[in-house]
Structure 1
Amino acid sequence: MDFLLASYRKQKKWIRLRQLLLLLSRLAVAAVLIAMLCGWTGSRQMLGVLGGSTTHHVVILDDSYSMGDSSGRTTAYGRSLVALQNLTRQLANDGGIHELTVMRSSRAAMTVRGGNESGDIAADLSAQTITSDARLINRIMATEASPIRTDLVAAIDLAGELIENTPTDQTILYIASDFRDRDWAEPRRLAESLKAISADSVSIRMIDCAVAPTSNLAVTELAPLPDVWVAGVPVVVHATIRNYGPNDVNNVSVDTQIFQYPSSLTLADPTLVVSANVESLPTMVIESLAVGEEITKSFQVYIADQGTHAVKVSLRDDALSIDNSRVCTLPLSDAEKVLVIDGTTDGRGAYHVASVLDPGSQVRIGAIPDIKPPSFLRSATLETLLPYRAIYLIDVEEIGENVADSLDRYVRRGGGLAWFLGENVNADSYNNSLLAGERRLLPMPLAEQQNIPQPDSLSSAEVSSADVLFGEDAELLAPLQVAGDAALSMIGLSRSWTFEKPSLESRDDAKRPRMRTVLKRRDGKPLVTKHDVERGRVITVLTGLDNRWTNWAGDPTFVVFLLQANADLWSGAAASTQRFVDDPIRRTISLESYAPEATFLPASNEPPRIPLEVAAQTVPGDANQIDMLAEFSLDPNEMVISGESNISDVLRPGVGEWSLVRSDGQGEVAPVASVIRDGEGDLRRIDAASIQQELMPLEVKFIDSEVWNNETQTAGSSTLALVLLGLLGLLLAIEQVLAYWASYHTKTIDQSSATAKQSFLKHRGPFSVRAAR
């Protein structure tokens, strides 16, 4: 017993140490098991010491306005932001070093359009190291789907530049989009951009943020009919509505509002949605609209006051709200003068034109004919022609060089010019002066006067009972086209001018304007043509207005033609009725009439509106410029590049307002209609398999946004999980070794020792046995 006690006293510390180590190992196993079951994520800084690898995560957010589709519980763009947020949270707790780049497709497209191809400028975040601070993406989380229509090409190209300039161990490119059929059915340009950045160290993941679309109606167009827009004369406005939804719709209500800006309104009110007087017109109803069908509704707008006013058309809310309304402006002037010069002796041509444009009585067209003799042209300059909205030259014999130069500048500035070419016209004079140098006041050189062939002289394929037929582009006679060529059957034509046939060796084809034939002769040769010269328009009638050539002036179709032609000629100088949201907002003023400072109130549905102060820049003029001009300009592309924070206000569709100050100190308010580009309202989707097939041989992984969010929310760090699992296995192995070490085990007795012991006990007897025991 003394021996045993001595042995115990000698070994007790070592035994307790082994038991303590065994207890600690079992506690460690329990702790690791609890950590794994609780989903402990640890800290990225701790695992960075263990890992040390760098991963660059590049996220491209498609924020084109189709991402505002709210067919699910939230918008598609909202799902993309949630996916970004969950990714950032996951990476903040993951091992290694993670850098995050986030780029929106609208910013990338506008940056490239503005002439800058820097990925750092276009990106909202550029290679920012992810920390546990969640404020890294707060500014991006506050954004919304933009009103821009764009694809992802610019964003992918700029992201490729950032990937190339950011050295990392691995790069993952995420594209969060709605994958609509219009963009991805034939993704040739997208595939080229993706292939340019594909490499072994770059993996591509597509996050699908959209769901099956529901109903969507869109106002795709709203514009006043090209006409003489004069105060006190009704203006016809066309509104086009399209059904982009998957089902037919019935009884669609179309609401119309008129925003009137009287001359007494001198200051824009930022506390209101618009500063104008708002008038609602009766609601229009579309009885039925099939899938993919488009319908145009027309209505009249009557405003007695001069100035620029606005019109708005809106539909009920549906899956995509941004395309449910559209606006346009309506610039109304007072009646304006038109110049009429008749080269005939009796002046019948001028009488026919003037009687149509100013019929007298209570009928008001808006044009005031000013009849002048041919001698008026000899001293005509640009200054003498500018007061006229349109010019009608009837059978004028010759056009001098100085007159041709003045007419050319007048048309290029937006003026309208109509020729009636009769018997007195000198073809050589016209060709030499009107087509000299860069002038294109005739669509083609004049050839000769020619009689109209009789039907019996033409082949059966060319024969026609009417002398005059509709041409390929008969918009100027659109009200008569319903009746077909029969509407022109009463027009008699015996003689007209012809054009020279272009030579095959001619090199002027590129400079020749695009000629559109409005009316043609029986033999197919042009009779009435129109073509554009920069901002202006020229209409050429290859016959005179006397009875020896034609009886057209006495036919009712001439009234329709001349009114439509006059409206067409006026449209060149007419102010634009709308701008796209991503185009510059410009306003040109005369410094003699306005102050060089102005305020712009962007469109907004939720006042107050934040005014933007703008200073005018002088516009370089030519030698013939009468007033010194200046321009106010707000360019969204430049604002994106310079990093201005109010870019989202300028991009918002709706009615914005310029608040100007005249030289007499009085204020003036002018509306600006900003609209989205049509097309994004088509919400049809394409499946992932089709996109993967189009992008082959690229390896692209598709992930549904809902699945992605669930995985990133529930999954911990993959690196930490592997570390914990390995640590658990190691601790279990250590625990087993310590348990074996701390337990009691008898030593094994070999066979020879056992045989010797038995022999000893056999010969010694019972006493010896007891002693041995």
Structure 2
Amino acid sequence: MDFLLASYRKQKKWIRLRQLLLLLSRIAVAALLIAMLCGWTGGGRRFGLLGGTTTHHVVVLDDSYSMGDVSIGAATPLASDEAAKTAYGRALGALQDLTRRLASDDGIHQLTVIRASRAAMINRGGGESADAAADLSVQTITSDGRLINRIMSTQSSPTRTDLVPALDQVTELINATPADAKYLYIASDFRERDWASSERYAASMRNLDGNVTVRMIDCAAPPEPNLAITDISPAQDVWVAGVPVVVRVTVKNYSATPVKNVAIVNRVIRYSSDVVNIDPTRQFSGEVESLPAIMIEQLAAGEEITKSFQVFITQTGSHAIEASLPDDALAIDNVRTCTLPLSDVEKVLVIDGDTEARGAYHIASVLNPGSQVRIGAVPDIQPPSFLRSATLETLAPYRAIYLVDVPEIGENAADALSKYVQRGGGLAWFLGPNTNRESYNQTLLGQSRYLLPGSLGQPIELPVPTDAKPDVGLGESSSTLLAPLESIGESALALIGLSQSWRLDEPQLGDLPDSQRPRMRVVLNRRDGLPFVTLHDYGRGRVITVLSGLDGSWTNWPGDPTFVVFLLQSNALLWSGAAPPTHRMIDDAIVKVLSSRDYTAEAMYVPATDESPRVPIEIAANEQESSLVGEDPVLEFKLDPNDMVIEGEDNVAEILRPGISEWMLTRSDGRGTVVPVASVIRVGDGELERADQAEIAQQFLPMELKFVSSSAWSEQNQTAGSSTMTLLLLGLLAAILAAEQTLAYWATYHVKPTKLTSASKPASLGGQA
């Protein structure tokens, strides 16, 4: 025992050292196994920096509103994530997976990210810089991954976006950025309407210099049924408070299967004169009233149907109307809005050149029939002498003007009528036998006035009929003024007699550009094909020309029931020229023009939102000279989303939201006025049918495209890592395991085997008992 104790005392330090080394080696093996299971590749960046390889990765995110599709399809690795339920959420997930992998890969990785909507808006605003359009422009990826945090908080845009501006800008950026390797990733939903004919996309990408690897990340699932409200608008009519207004709503089935029993829920938001301030705690400052739902019994695949309902509002001012559908694959096109500007009863001017005023009587009896019928127009019958001293100020109070067989139009009257129509007024001519052709051609078409659709020629008699064809037939634009008679056809005009009417010649427009030339539309034709009733636009207003009078000498039309329909429809059309628009496209500029005499130069605009509180945007107006001579300067309030993107403002997404937004205006006397604005999306992105990827690849030849689904992309990037670090860890693990086994053998006691001598060997039993 003394010998053993002495030996232990002599060898214990060496024994403990061997045991400590064995323990450390086993801890190192466990640490390496944990690091490999966790996917640790923290040393990859350092190895890459030593290598000096630079790779440029460019990601184009298609964020058009079809990317808000919530069709489920195959499950994705991020299916439990709320954002990944949409196609755009999967696109963001693909970007995040790519960034995480590149943060640990070898070499220097630079990232550029550009959203298609942002590139398109900058292109529309006149910007050409790719750096300005990009959310990230050639940024080096770091290990913390915070580079894309701001992009990850974005949502799909409510705009319908073309990818060409984005592809043009990334092509320019890729060509201008030096790198050892270049990759282009396009994350999209690859819908049939956009990618079936993708030659424009291919033309942009063929301009890429060098060897660029292209990856197409498919973020959409097989589409589920989708219905969309494609339009809601008040029917063209005299929009007067206290008179029912017909509102039409159009629904389209973008699905491949029919649907049944679909309810359209409608509501009216009334903005009475009592609404003088914006209430930020509510979705609307006006009073909301629900209307009875409209049922669509059946809607076939691809079919579009229009339903109508009536709105009755007794208060003047602008009100709002909203229609909505049940939830489906795409939520943004299930709701659409419009405004309804209602005025009080307004006057219309009627001037008849006939001494007996027979034409004025016909017009007045239709527009103001008396009794319990209320049209909203009050005819003011004046003699032709009224025009001699007419000015814009004297004509402005009238919503429409009817001139019946007035012999001559003086220069002052023509100038006043020209300004009146250009600012949105409506003008109707009834040209009878008393009309002075030379005077009309000189004053109404001279001095760049286009108050007639053409030069008046000589009256032409209608040829003797050779068949049963009526004297008057429907023209190409008859639906504009005779829509209620379209279902009956020309038989409704069979009792109209016409003996002669004025001939129209081509107007002498000089060097006027084609875009500014008034386009004449024929509403009614004569039997011989010559025009009888025409319509053309002039400035913001409209002009209706009837090439016959109303005294009964050339036609008996005033006594036919169709004349009532024509005059009511004409009056509605003439009134609507001065009416404000009932909606705006969300990517158009928001413009409000007011009189500097009536309003102050400060206003607030509250964008549409479904959540409270709403945040107003303060706007200062620019004072400008009026486009009309003699009028006070005007105040222009303007918000242009395209300019806001170029200037880098952060609240562009709020401006682009569809729905009911509100102006808060202040009058000169200090009273407030709240005016609603309906912002709507452009129609088309609700078509969710998928394009064939093989056909897309064929159109891009000789460029090679590789398609990958977002789920497969996520799996590839989550399993990928730094090859250098992985090999290093594997080699280190093998070395430490070998060292551990050596130390384990070294640290344990082993008895050396002894050799057996021949004497000690047992005797063989073979053959011996």
Q: Quick check: TM above 0.5?
A: yes
Partner of 1:63: 63
Mapped partners of 1:142, 1:150: distance in 2:
20
Q: Distance in 2 between matches of 1:723 and 1:430?
A: 95
Answering whether residue 155 of structure 2 is matched by residue 144 of structure 1, we say: yes
The aligned counterpart of 1:111 is 122
Unaligned runs of 5+ in 2: 1-20, 73-78, 80-84, 741-769
Return the letter of the residue paired with 2:61. Answer: L
Q: Which residue of 2 aligns with 1:428?
A: 438
Deviations 1:383-410 (A, max 9, x none): 2111111111111111222222221121
Which residue number corresponds to residue 5 of structure 1?
none
Name the residue aligned to 2:662.
Answer: 657
Q: 1:264 to 1:33 in 2, by over 3 A?
A: closer
1:256 alignment partner, SS class: strand
Q: Does structure 1 conserve the Cα–Cα contact (< 8 Å) formed by 2:324 and 2:336?
A: yes
Q: Aligned in 2, Cα 1:174/1:246: closer, same or farther, shift over 3 Å?
A: same
| Structure 1 stretch displaced more, 26-35 or 254-263 | 26-35
- Deviation string, structure 1 residues 185-219 (Cα, Å, up to 9, x no partner): 1112211111122532x211110000100011000
Does 1:547 find its partner at 2:552? yes
Look up the SS of the partner of 2:487 in the other structure.
helix
Tell me if structure 2 keeps the 8 A contact 1:417–1:569.
yes
Aligned to 1:292: 302
AA of the residue aligned to 2:475: G
1:158 deviates by: 1.5
Alpha-carbon offset, residue 627 of structure 1: 2.5
2:169 matched residue in structure 1: 158
Structure 1 residue identity aligned to 2:349? L
What is the CA distance between 1:29 and its match in structure 2? 10
Specify the code of the residue in structure 1 equivalent to 2:482: L
1:470 aligns with 2:474: yes
Residue 691 of structure 1 corresponds to: 696
Range 475-484 or range 307-316, more displaced: 475-484
Superposed CA deviations along residues 210-229 of structure 1, whole A, max 9, x for unmatched, are: 01000110000011111110
- 1:165 offset after TM fit, Å? 2.8
- Residue in 2 that maps onto 1:603: 608
Q: How does 1:471-620 map to 2 (within 5 A)?
A: 471-475=475-479, 476-500=481-505, 510=514, 512-620=517-625
Alignment of structure 1 residues 360-509 onto 2, 5 Å = 360-456=370-466, 463-475=467-479, 476-500=481-505
- Alpha-carbon distance between aligned partners in 2 of 1:100 and 1:509, rounded to the nearest angstrom: 47
The residue type paired with residue 173 of structure 1 is L
Query: Which secondary structure does the structure 2 equivalent of 1:197 belong to?
Result: coil
Segments of structure 1 that go 5 or more residues without pairing to the other structure are 1-20, 457-462, 736-773
Secondary structure of the residue aligned to 1:379 is coil
Shift in Å, 1:283: 0.7
Which residue in the other structure is 2:221 paired with?
A: 211
By how many angstroms is 1:438 displaced?
2.4
1:630 lines up with 2:641 in the alignment: no
- Counterpart Cα distance in 2 of 1:587 and 1:29: 72
For residues 36-58 of structure 1, what are the alpha-carbon distances to aligned partners after superposition, in whole Å with 9 as ceiling and x for unaligned?
Answer: 67644233432123421111111
Q: CA deviation at 1:443?
A: 1.2
Q: Secondary structure of the residue that 2:496 maps to in structure 1?
A: coil
Bigger drift between 561-570 and 353-362 goes to 353-362
Q: CA contact under 8 A between 1:394 and 1:420: conserved in structure 2? A: yes
Distance 1:144 1:731 in 2: 49
Is the 2:453–2:507 contact (alpha carbons within 8 Å) kept by the matching residues of 1? no
Quick one: which amino acid aligns to residue 187 of structure 2? Answer: A
Deviation digits for residues 484-516 of structure 1 (CA, Å, limit 9, x no counterpart): 11101111111111112689x997793642111
Change (3 A) 1:164 1:32: same
Q: Aligned residue pairs: how many? A: 712
Q: Distance in 2 between matches of 1:298 and 1:44?
A: 65
Contact 1:43 1:94 in 2 (8 A): no
Deviation at 1:717, TM superposition (A): 2.0
Q: 1:581 to 1:518 in 2, by over 3 A?
A: same
When normalised by structure 2's length, the TM-score is 0.88
The aligned residue for residue 288 of structure 2 is 278
CA distance in 2, matches of 1:195, 1:121: 23
Contact in 2 for aligned 1:306/1:334 (Cα 8 Å): yes
Equivalent AA in structure 1 for residue 42 of structure 2: G
Change beyond 3 A, Cα 1:138–1:113: same
Higher mean C-alpha displacement, 75-84 vs 43-52:
43-52
Whole-angstrom distance in 2 between the partners of 1:331 and 1:619? 25
For residues 196-275 of structure 1, what are the structure 2 equivalents within 5 Å? 196-200=207-211, 202-275=212-285
The alpha-carbon distance between structure 1 residues 36 and 273, as it changes in their structure 2 partners (threshold 3 A), is closer
Are the structure 2 counterparts of residues 272 and 502 from structure 1 closer, same or farther at C-alpha, using a change threshold of 3 Å? closer
Indicate yes or no: 2:307 matched with 1:302.
no
Alignment deviations for residues 325-368 of structure 1 (CA, whole Å, 9 cap, x no partner) = 10000000001111111111211011111111111122111111
Deviation at 1:610, TM superposition (A): 0.8
Identify the residue that residue 717 of structure 1 maps to in structure 2: 722
Q: 2:104 aligns with which of 80, 83, 93?
A: 93
SS of the counterpart of 1:447? strand
Q: Which residue of 1 is the match for residue 6 of structure 2? A: none
Q: Which of 118, 122, 139 is the equivalent residue of 2:133?
A: 122
CA distance in 2, matches of 1:696, 1:436: 58
**C-alpha RMSD of matched pairs (Å):** 2.8
The answer on whether the counterparts of 1:216 and 1:318 sit within 8 Å (CA) in structure 2 is yes
With over 3 angstroms needed to count, the CA separation of the structure-2 counterparts of 1:27 and 1:626, relative to structure 1, is: closer
1:82, CA displacement in angstroms? 0.6
Secondary structure of the corresponding residue to residue 455 of structure 1: coil
Equivalent-residue separation in structure 2 for 1:87 and 1:430 (angstroms):
73
Aligned residue in 1 for 2:678: 673
Give 1:33 deviation, angstroms: 8.3
2:746 equivalent in structure 1: none
CA gap of 1:141–1:509, structure 2 versus 1, over 3 A, is closer
Q: Are the structure 2 counterparts of residues 29 and 233 from structure 1 closer, same or farther at C-alpha, using a change threshold of 3 Å?
A: closer
Contact (CA 8 Å) 1:444, 1:512: kept in 2 or not?
A: no
DSSP 3-state at the match of 1:196: coil
Give distance in 1, aligned partners of 2:113 and 2:505.
61
In the TM superposition, what is the alpha-carbon distance from 1:675 to its structure 2 partner? Answer: 0.5
Task: Report whether the alignment pairs 1:46 with 2:28.
Answer: no
Match of 1:741 in 2: none
Distance 1:675 1:38, change over 3 A: closer
Give me the whole-angstrom Cα distance separating, in 2, the residues matched to 1:502 and 1:611: 50
CA distance, structure 1, for counterparts of residue 380 and residue 181 of structure 2: 77
SS at match of 2:277: coil
Distance in 2, Cα, partners of 1:27 & 1:551? 109
The counterpart of 2:653, out of the listed 648, 651, 657, is: 648
**Among residues 353, 356, 359, which one is paired with 2:366 in the alignment?**
356
1:191 maps to 202
Q: Which amino acid aligns with 1:151?
A: D
Evaluate the alpha carbon distance shift between residue 729 and residue 447 of structure 1 in structure 2; reply closer, same or farther with a 3 A threshold.
Answer: farther
1:489–1:246 CA distance, 2 compared to 1 (3 A) = same
Q: Deviations over 1:414-462 (max 9, x none)?
A: 1111110100111111112212242221111111111111113xxxxxx
Q: Which deviates the most, 219-228 or 634-643?
A: 634-643
Secondary structure, in 3 states, of the residue corresponding to 1:330? strand
Partner SS state of residue 247, structure 1: coil
Residues 392 and 419 in structure 2, CA contact (< 8 A), matched pair in contact too: yes
1:715, distance to aligned residue in structure 2 (A): 1.8
Any conservation in 2 of the 1:496–1:542 contact (CA below 8 Å)? yes
Does the 8 Å CA contact 1:621/1:629 hold for their aligned counterparts?
yes
Distance 1:700 1:527 in 2: 60
- After superposing the two structures, state which structure 1 stretch, 165-174 or 578-587, moved more: 165-174
From the superposition, tell whether residues 34 and 607 of structure 1 become closer, same or farther in structure 2 (CA, over 3 Å). closer
**Deviation at 1:369?**
1.0
Q: Is this contact kept in 2: 1:47–1:94, CA < 8 A?
A: no
Give the superposition deviation at 1:151: 1.4
User: Which region of structure 1 is more displaced relative to structure 2, 720-729 or 708-717?
Assistant: 720-729
Q: CA deviation at 1:24?
A: 12
- Is contact 2:167-2:205 (8 Å) kept? yes
Distance (Å, rounded) in 1 between the aligned partners of 2:338 and 2:131:
36
Cα 1:669–1:26 change in 2 (3 A) is: closer
SS for the counterpart of 2:205 is helix
Structure 2 counterpart of 1:134: 145
Q: CA deviation at 1:96?
A: 0.5
